[in-house]
Amino acid sequence: MTILVTGGAGFIGANFVLDWLAASSETVVNLDKLTYAGNLETLTSLQNNANHVFVRGDIGDLALVESLLQTHQPRAVVNFAAESHVDRSIHGPGEFIETNIMGTFRLLEAVRGYWSGLPQEEMHPRVKPENDKHLTQSSFRFLHVSTDEVYGSLSKDDPAFAETHRYEPNSPYSASKAASDHLVRAWHHTYGLPVLTTNCSNNYGPYHFPEKLIPLMIVNALAGKPLPVYGDGMQVRDWLYVKDHCSAIRRVLEAGRLGETYNVGGWNEKPNIEIVQTVCKLLDALRPKADGTHYSSQITYVTDRPGHDRRYAIDARKLEQELGWKPAETFESGIRKTVEWYLANPQWVSNVQSGAYRDWVQKQYAGADRKP
């Protein structure tokens, strides 16, 4: 059996692919455009793994996606591919509209065509014995990975976001993700496509691109640079270790009810400044500064992000109670693992930062169906 993963060279997608292939003998076809955020170095350990097929390409390339679906006959598509950084969406929303909305639309259309052509159990009550894949319209799944940011911002005493919370996206990024969620929902209600959607809180962990808060703070702290905290630093995010997000997606793929959305979160609400202080304290303990000062002395308050959402919080009870999912990491264990990972992998950081690795990849993997 095979699954098609999009955006599997990015932070969460790559963690998902690595975890999936460590536990399963199914083939993963990994479709990724390799934007600045996609990094094949993350997948180096899969170089000789015959179950990993990397394809460089765009989810919005209908012909490419159609041909991948026909060739590999996946039983599921898991869609991670997106432009993901809020600050970038403020400075240049175009790519977000193109990939997150138009790309998702074209991907849905390719998948709908493929799914329509799969055998229908209703019409063929006994699945054809010669069809050793046992792949039918009703067993196929399209899982769309989305964000809690579609729900907008909470004030201090509001209850956490449940799946029934209305959509109130505030940034170009969250508006584009909200639009993609609506398209996925519509493709289920109108065409019957068997979809699932997950809306997750802030992830952190290995292979996180150092433009996002936690990896940026680790990397800047070690480089002796300022640690830029937006506004008063009292914005609240709800943090989840990336491997726990991946386990939630696997669980929803396995047992989620069709057409449903599942909120994913770790019940770890924390103000940004507390996150930055925690990172600084861990670094003080694990890599003390030569001059004896604390990393927190590098904290610098800077101008706030325009339209900055004040608080996100996820109510994950539906996923926990209906599907029995629980995160494995506490924030304390997860953040320690994360800081340790960045300390152990300075080469990965310098490669993604320099862009040299990306330039090399551009030259090496210009075609499709190439392995990293």
> Could you say which of ligand NAD, ligand DAU, none residue 251 binds, taking C-beta under 5 to 8 angstroms by partner kind?
none
Residue 12 neighbours by CB under 8 Å, 6+ apart: 80, 145, 203, 242, 245, 246
- Whole-angstrom Cα distance, residue 369 to residue 71? 11
Residue among 18, 38, 141, 276 that touches ligand NAD (CB under 6 A): 38
Tokens matching residue 27: 């083939």
Residue among 80, 140, 151, 342 that touches ligand NAD (CB under 6 A): 80
Query: Minimum Å distance from CB 48 to ligand DAU?
Result: 31
Q: Determine if 6 is a binding residue for ligand NAD (CB under 6 A).
A: yes
Q: Determine if 43 is a binding residue for ligand NAD (CB under 6 A).
A: no
> Could you say which of ligand DAU, ligand NAD, none residue 235 binds, taking C-beta under 5 to 8 angstroms by partner kind?
ligand DAU
Query: Minimum Å distance from CB 48 to ligand NAD?
Result: 21
Phi then psi for residue 225, to 5 deg, are: -95, 165
Query: Minimum Å distance from CB 84 to ligand NAD?
Result: 3
Query: Minimum Å distance from CB 148 to ligand NAD?
Result: 7
* Catalytic, out of 32, 83, 148, 315: 148
- Which residues contact ligand DAU (rule: CB under 6 A)? 84-86, 147-149, 201-202, 212-213, 216, 228-230, 235, 237, 272, 305, 312
Count of beta carbons in the 10 Å neighbourhood of residue 230: 15
Q: 114 an active-site residue?
A: no
CA distances from 101 to 59, 177, 338 (A): 11, 7, 31
Residue among 2, 35, 136, 247 that touches ligand NAD (CB under 6 A): 35
- Whole-angstrom Cα distance, residue 237 to residue 243? 18
Q: Determine if 205 is a binding residue for ligand NAD (CB under 6 A).
A: no
Cβ–Cβ < 8 Å for 148, 179: no
Q: Determine if 196 is a binding residue for ligand NAD (CB under 6 A).
A: no
Phi then psi for residue 318, to 5 deg, are: -60, -50
Count of beta carbons in the 10 Å neighbourhood of residue 189: 10
Helix then strand count (H, E) for the chain reads: 13, 12
Q: Which is nearer to ligand DAU, 5 or 216 (CB)?
A: 216
Phi then psi for residue 19, to 5 deg, are: -65, -40
Count of residues that bind ligand NAD according to CB under 6 A: 32
Residue nearest to ligand NAD (CB): 10
Query: Minimum Å distance from CB 158 to ligand DAU?
Result: 16
Q: 340 an active-site residue?
A: no
Cβ–Cβ < 8 Å for 151, 170: no
Residue among 5, 29, 58, 250 that touches ligand NAD (CB under 6 A): 58
Count of beta carbons in the 10 Å neighbourhood of residue 334: 23
Q: 342 an active-site residue?
A: no
Strand bridging mode 227-230 / 269-271 = unpaired
- Whole-angstrom Cα distance, residue 178 to residue 147? 8
Active-site annotation, residues: 148-149, 173
Interacting residues with ligand NAD (CB under 6 A): 6-7, 9-13, 31-35, 37-38, 58-60, 80-84, 99, 103, 145-147, 177, 200, 202-203, 209
